[in-house]
């Protein structure tokens, strides 16, 4: 069957009015629609940028080689998992089919399943308590089905809890998949960093070398060049040359500098869909966190119990969102650090050009300095809520959450301390009264004897 045509930018293709109605009510469906819209816009600009590179190749045919297209095709061939040209989904069904659940880390997968199960159980517990006229923080509800009203109340609670659990699960899976897309962007940029003659793998961090080793091993296995390939620390450069060849972009050459810049801008266009969707996820996560915390505050005011089912549920949901946002921040930090490394590469290349005294040294050095200033001041860094994600911003976010947790824990300990102190005073009074009673009885027996 022929596939549906590609949606134009701004056009939202939904399978029926039911999905449209649900997209206005369920956060996960709203996120999916937003992903469709952003992916259509980015695909349009990506195709446009690709055609511009191919047009340059047609103009130069017979005179010179289009270096940018040459290296881009080599990347597409050598690393199809990172540089594949996937057609964006045209509707919500295709979007769900495009989700690769195997790429979700096992820890995040177990967290999503566990939080969904706990959400279903605790939400059913709260609804049954309310239906039976008990406080929401009371003990386990009575499972009584004596009348049709009890049966209807039970079925209604289960259906509501099931709908909320499914929506929560889809929301988590969508955010996790987007965060995995950010991780793929980091891998794509890491591979791009190896294309120049100034890419010194030995000076990279241990984390970047481990990521490159994994990428190269997967590429060798997927291309049937070496099954189950294991690359050691000293074989990284050899494996890279085996996959990409020994030819690299020479940033002291004017044509190679232009090709490097064109290819870098093209790759950054490919980052826009995950970046925009991730920014939307950041806003959505912040809104949900605030709503959950306000709900927990009202639950505490109503019940006065920090260990009530409502408080436990709020803490669990906020913790899940916090873990996912931390993984997203880590991917953004990796991408931003790789982008900043390009600035250092350009500075080193400009210094070598000036020292080489080649015939067009002034022109090449001027172009390198212009690109370096553009990269340093106006580069498209990864942002969430308009804030560029760096290690400093991540640490500040973690410290703020830690202080909030410690403040809540201190409040709980103070309440528990008051309760324990009251219990101790009660025990002391009981022991004192018992001692007095025992002494009085002993005295009475002595007088009687």
Please indicate, yes or no, if residue 95 is contained in any of the structural domains.
no
Nearest by Cα to 95 from 158, 24, 13, 164: 13
Residues 368, 373, 376, 380, CA torsion sign: negative
CA dist list (Å): 248 to 131, 194, 444: 70, 8, 105
pLDDT of residue 213: 87
Distance CA 42, CA 192 (A): 20
pLDDT of residue 18: 27
Please indicate, yes or no, if residue 131 is contained in any of the structural domains.
yes
CA dist list (Å): 106 to 109, 326, 328, 410: 5, 16, 16, 33
Nearest by Cα to 371 from 350, 388, 390, 357: 350
Element (DSSP H or E) covering residue 141: none
Please indicate, yes or no, if residue 76 is contained in any of the structural domains.
no
Nearest by Cα to 173 from 121, 123, 105: 105
pLDDT of residue 10: 43
pLDDT of residue 25: 40
Beta bridge partners of 75: none
Which residues fall within 8 angstroms of residue 299, CB to CB, at 6 or more apart? 136, 137, 308, 310, 311, 314
Which residues fall within 8 angstroms of residue 379, CB to CB, at 6 or more apart? 339
Helices 236-244 and 206-222, axial angle in degrees (round to 10): 40
Three-class DSSP category at 249: strand
Please indicate, yes or no, if residue 160 is contained in any of the structural domains.
yes
CA dist list (Å): 190 to 82, 185, 264, 318, 366: 10, 8, 12, 32, 26
Number of structural domains the chain divides into = 1
Beta bridge partners of 124: none
Nearest by Cα to 28 from 185, 178, 160: 178
Buried b (16+ CB within 10 A) or exposed e, 404-416: eeeeeeeeeeeee
Element (DSSP H or E) covering residue 155: helix 148-192
Q: Confirm if 310 and 161 have CB atoms less than 8 A apart.
A: no
Q: Locate tokens 């009085």: which residue?
A: 440
| Residue 383 lies in domain | 100-199+248-389
Averages of pLDDT over runs of 10 residues in the chain (449 residues) are 39 32 50 76 80 64 67 84 69 66 78 90 82 62 68 84 88 82 84 86 84 84 62 81 86 89 86 79 82 83 76 87 84 85 88 85 90 84 79 80 73 66 68 69 63
* Alpha-helix runs per DSSP H in 193-222: 206-222
Please indicate, yes or no, if residue 340 is contained in any of the structural domains.
yes
Please indicate, yes or no, if residue 445 is contained in any of the structural domains.
no
Please indicate, yes or no, if residue 353 is contained in any of the structural domains.
yes
Distance CA 194, CA 212 (A): 10
Please indicate, yes or no, if residue 442 is contained in any of the structural domains.
no
């Amino acid at each position: 069957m022929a596939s549906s045509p590609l949606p134009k930018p701004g056009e939202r293709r939904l399978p029926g009015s039911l999905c449209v109605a649900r997209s206005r009510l369920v956060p996960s469906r709203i996120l999916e629609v937003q992903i469709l819209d952003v992916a259509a816009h980015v695909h349009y600009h990506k195709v446009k940028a690709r055609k511009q590179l191919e047009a340059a190749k047609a103009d130069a045919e017979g005179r010179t080689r289009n270096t940018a297209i040459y290296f881009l095709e080599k990347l597409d061939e050598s690393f199809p998992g990172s540089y594949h040209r996937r057609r964006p989904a045209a509707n919500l069904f295709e979007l769900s089919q495009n989700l690769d659940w195997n790429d979700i880390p096992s820890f995040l997968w177990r967290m999503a399943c566990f939080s969904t199960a706990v959400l279903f159980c605790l939400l059913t517990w709260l609804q049954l308590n309310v239906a039976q006229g008990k406080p929401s923080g009371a003990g386990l509800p009575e499972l009584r089905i004596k009348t049709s009203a009890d049966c209807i109340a039970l079925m209604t609670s289960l259906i509501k809890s099931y709908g909320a659990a499914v929506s929560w699960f889809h929301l988590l899976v969508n955010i996790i998949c987007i965060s995995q897309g950010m991780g793929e962007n980091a891998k794509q940029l890491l591979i791009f960093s190896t294309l120049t003659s100034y890419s010194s793998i030995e000076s990279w961090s241990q984390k970047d070398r481990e990521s490159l080793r994994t990428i190269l091993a997967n590429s060798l296995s997927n291309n049937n060049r070496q099954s189950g390939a294991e690359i050691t620390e000293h074989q990284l450069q050899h494996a890279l040359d085996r996959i990409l060849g020994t030819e690299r972009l020479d940033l002291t050459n004017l044509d190679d500098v232009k090709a490097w810049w064109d290819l870098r801008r093209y790759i950054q266009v490919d980052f826009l869909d995950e970046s925009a969707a991730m920014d939307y996820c950041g806003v959505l996560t912040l809104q949900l966190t605030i709503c959950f915390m306000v709900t927990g505050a009202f639950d505490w005011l109503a019940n006065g119990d920090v260990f009530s089912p409502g408080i436990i549920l709020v803490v669990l949901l906020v913790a899940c969102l916090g873990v996912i946002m931390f993984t997203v921040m880590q991917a953004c930090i990796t991408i931003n650090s790789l982008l900043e490394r390009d600035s250092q590469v350009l500075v080193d290349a400009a210094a070598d050009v000036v020292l080489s005294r080649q015939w067009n040294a002034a022109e090449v050095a001027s172009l390198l300095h212009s690109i370096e200033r553009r990269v340093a001041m106006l580069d498209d860094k990864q942002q969430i809520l308009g804030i560029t994600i760096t290690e400093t911003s991540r640490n500040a976010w973690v410290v703020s959450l830690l202080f909030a947790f410690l403040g809540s824990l201190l409040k709980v300990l103070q309440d528990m301390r008051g309760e324990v102190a009251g219990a101790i005073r009660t025990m002391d009074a009981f022991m004192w009264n018992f001692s007095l009673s025992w002494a009085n009885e002993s005295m009475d027996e002595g007088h009687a004897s």
